[in-house]
Structure 1
Amino acid sequence: MGTPRLLLVHAHPDDESLWTGGLTARHVDSGGEADLVMCTWAEGTVRHRELTDAVGILGMPRPPIMLGYADDRRPESAPDTERLCAAPFDDQVRALTKHIRELQPDIVVTYDALGIYGHPDHVHAHRLAVAAVDAAASHKLYHRAGPAWRVRSLYFATIPEWMMDLLAPSLFPEIPREKLPGTPDSDIDLVVDVADLADRKKAAVVAHRSEATRSRAIAGFLALPDEIQDKLLSVECYQRRDLVPGGCELV
């Protein structure tokens, strides 16, 4: 088997750069195919335009696929459209199943079951990706969405405990550490060193200009000392779930 084809499923513009930007850039640089499905924000909005800039920096060969649902906390993200977490789940699974069958990825990458840190849109995107991967492999579901396609492995982006230990004092000083997320090393299946791509990954994050201005978390991250930013941007961590014997190696 040659270089696997990736499909990334994210909830919000900027997540693709923060959590999987290094992996994406390395994969594309090595000649691999990768596509991105973004669950929230509609085409033509400011964050869609910023997302397009960001994926260009990461080297993705095609524009992001926008499902067009509203961000849980930003109704202007998709005017007159339902929130991601409120829309009919079956309709969402059908839509994502169609993309999976058309693109035929070997690997689907999304968030872990906690949505990395518990954001409801992240959790929903995880559930949607898992359900659609299962549906895409079934010959009995969604016949109009194309011929069945079996994804070989799912990879779930997660935040390790050591990374949260670095972030907590500056970004979440009011929250007791034991109440913050963080995955122990023993539960992480893959650690990807992307130190050589940290500057490019940061440029993709910064391309989300409106969010860097609005979001306390993004602004706080960008205000951290350079050496801490570099350490955080240089590593990406994943959990793995194989769907066929042997699965598929991500890197």
Structure 2
Amino acid sequence: MPAQRLLLVHAHPDDESIGQGATMAKYAAEGRGVTLVTCTAGELGEILVPSLEHLAADKDDTLGEHRRQEIADAMAELGVTDHRWLGGFGRYRDSGMKWDDDGNATAADEMDERAFANADLLEAANHLVEVIREVRPQVLVTYDQFGQYGHPDHIQAHRVATYATALAAVPSYRRDLGEAWDISKVYWGAMSESRFREGMRALRDAGDTTSFEGMDPDGPLPWTTPDADLAAVVDATDYAERKIAAMKAHATQITVDGPFFALSNNAGNHVWGVEYYRLAKGTQGELGPDGLETDLFAGL
């Protein structure tokens, strides 16, 4: 077992690569333990490849199985060898979503009875407790209480990860799930407000006026985190190409020719290779020159 171990809890395939792909690749390359738990197979994701539209839920309903291979390919790009499905593949189904008037995701009008958002919280948490007690991570990464942008599966992943973290640390709780383990630090993935504004300005300067249309680099920005609330930044610029390759592996979900990819290679890599975090549990360790931890294991 590696001396330092990171556990990430995400809702769908591709969330991990977009959010923390560079961190995962960096830590895996450094010999640290990296375990990813994915809660659903993303059966209701939007399909961007016309020839694969038959996989959709209202047709063959086989997108989940296809994305199972996509995430396997993505993990290979990141060098991550320990990937698990919460409760086993297919245990929980993508809940779907729709956009509200404020531009945030919210629950769909209709939801399958197997939807992750409807899952019994204790049952789902117990599946994760077993993983926590086996892997014994010092650090866990998941979403904030809003799932960053409101998707019901992201919010449920936050709830499950938070509950499981607490339960796993109780010595007398479900001894059959393994020996108790208290995770030292819990982080929520975040998007730096200042960095996002800089990226938008760079796009505008490069002549891109359509990306993030309707959003003002100097106006309100949803889904971002004020820099004062950030606790850590992992500069994994050297692993940005691996992150981008992992994103490309999720071909049904991501078109890797959009915002920021139009920037120069160095600028684009910096956008994708530097990842930010909020600290939800634990104490900050040594801080870098900008007042943030530069390693999620700092102080441990």
TM over 0.5: yes
Structure-2 change in CA distance of 1:141 and 1:193 (3 Å): same
| Partner residue, 1:30 | 30
Aligned partner of 2:134 among 62, 87, 102: 102
Q: Secondary structure at the match of 1:209?
A: coil
CA distance in 2, matches of 1:156, 1:180: 16
| Paired residues of 1:4 and 1:105 also in contact (CA < 8 A) | yes
Worse-superposed segment, 196-205 or 229-238: 229-238
TM-score, structure 2 as length reference: 0.71
Measured in 2, the distance between the counterparts of 1:156 and 1:229 equals 23
Amino acid of the residue matched to residue 125 of structure 1? A
Between 188-197 and 110-119, the greater mean CA deviation after superposition: 110-119
Compute the displacement of 1:163 (Å).
Answer: 4.0
TM superposition score normalised by structure 1: 0.84
What is the distance in 2 between the residues matched to 1:126 and 1:196? 29
More helix per residue: 1
Inter-partner Cα distance in structure 2 for 1:154 and 1:196:
25
Residue identity in the other structure for 2:94: D
Q: Which sections of structure 1, spanning at least 5 residues, go unmatched?
A: 75-79
1:56 counterpart (62, 66, 76)? 76
- Identify the match of residue 71 of structure 1 among 85, 91, 94: 94
Measure, in 2, the Cα distance between the counterparts of 1:115 and 1:44. 21
Tell me which residue corresponds to 2:124.
92
Q: Which moved more, 1:227-236 or 1:93-102?
A: 227-236
Percentage of identical aligned residues: 35
Determine whether 1:151 maps to 2:183.
yes
- Alpha carbons of 1:219 and 1:118: their partners in 2 closer, same or farther (altered >3 Å)? farther
User: Is the 1:170–1:220 Cα contact (8 Å) retained in structure 2?
Assistant: no
What SS does structure 2 have at the residue aligned with 1:237?
A: strand
Offset, 1:182: 1.2
What is the CA deviation profile of residues 155-182 of structure 1, one whole-angstrom value per residue up to 9, with x for unaligned ones? 1111111344335964542467526121
Gap change, CA 1:171 and 1:72, over 3 Å in 2:
farther
Q: Does 1:209 align with 2:251?
A: yes
Look up the match of 1:230: 269
Q: Rate the CA distance shift 1:187–1:140 in 2: closer, same or farther, 3 A.
A: same
Pairing 1:250–2:297 present:
yes
Q: Which has the larger radius of gyration?
A: 2
Going from structure 1 to structure 2, the CA distance change for 1:81 and 1:210 (only over 3 Å counts) comes to farther
1:173 matched to 2:213 = yes
Q: How many residues align?
A: 240
Structure 2 runs not aligned, ≥5 long: 43-62, 98-111, 202-208, 287-294
Once residues 200 and 12 of structure 2 are traced to their aligned partners in structure 1, the CA distance between those partners, rounded to angstroms, is 20
The 10-residue stretch of structure 1 (228-237 or 240-249) with the greater mean CA deviation from structure 2: 240-249
Cα RMSD after superposing both structures: 2.9
The counterpart of 1:199, out of the listed 241, 251, 254, is: 241
Which residue identity is paired with 1:54? A
